[in-house]
Amino acid sequence: MKIISYNVNGVRAAQKKGLVEWLKTTNADVVCLQEIKANQDQIDLAAFEAAGYKHHYWFSAQKKGYSGVAILSKDEPLHVAYGTGIESMDFEGRNIRADFEKCSVMSVYVPSGTNLDRLTHKLEYMDMFHHYIDSLKDTHPNLIICGDYNICHEAIDIHDPIRNKNVSGFLPEERAWFSRFLKSGFIDAFRHFNSAPHHYSWWSYRANSRANNKGWRLDYTLVSKPMESRLIRAVILPEAVHSDHCPVLVEIS
């Protein structure tokens, strides 16, 4: 199974930049999208279906044009869960999960901490999310949680760790949470295969950041420990330029 996760920063804008045509070349089985910024009736669904994704599931924010996640799949899932059932997490459309016979795939979009109020919300979300996943693992042990976590875990995951040490996305408490989450039973699939620095998944639109590779690794494919032996590869795909993020890919047997 080949799974791609992509914060598209607006699915309608990404479609205009060739997203669907690019997806055809990847031949992924499941695609997790974040920050779709649209309701389902605003999206060109037929284009995704023509690309082979007959089964698509969208969980939009209550606020129009904001946040939202989706899962596209070539095969029909056994079950789809919209949100977590926790209202303060779900009103912004940040979690959707598709259960298949041998694994469950979640698309997650963790809030950013752009100001004090949003940082407080982000930290609360992260704690609730951890508790939710701890419970979910009891019934769904084979979990793949893909998405934009809005956190750089280690210094090698950000181009300038010194200057950004007090910036949300690289705060000590955010990084510590990520470490605890991994220790609770998950593998950072990309780091499982690649320990080199300078691999990022988001670049600011300012100061020619992408061309100079001054980026942040915010997007992850986290795979539960019971699936470790099934990991085949995990890569970042910076050649895809439909967003300020780029996709990340994990492949499992």
Instruction: Cite the active site residues.
Output: 148
Place of tokens 């969208």: 58
58/61 Cα distance (integer angstroms): 10
* CB contact at 8 A, 59 and 81: no
Is 61 exposed, middle or buried, given 0-12, 13-18 or 19+ CB atoms closer than 10 A? buried
Structure tokens at 93: 């459309």
Task: Please give the single-letter amino acid code of residue 54.
Answer: K
How far, in whole angstroms, is CA 1 from its chain's centroid? 17
Three-state DSSP at 207 gives coil
Phi/psi for 244 (5° steps) reads -80, -10
Residues 153 and 180: their CA atoms lie apart, in Å, by 11
Q: Would you say 98 and 76 are in contact if contact means Cβ atoms under 8 Å apart?
A: no
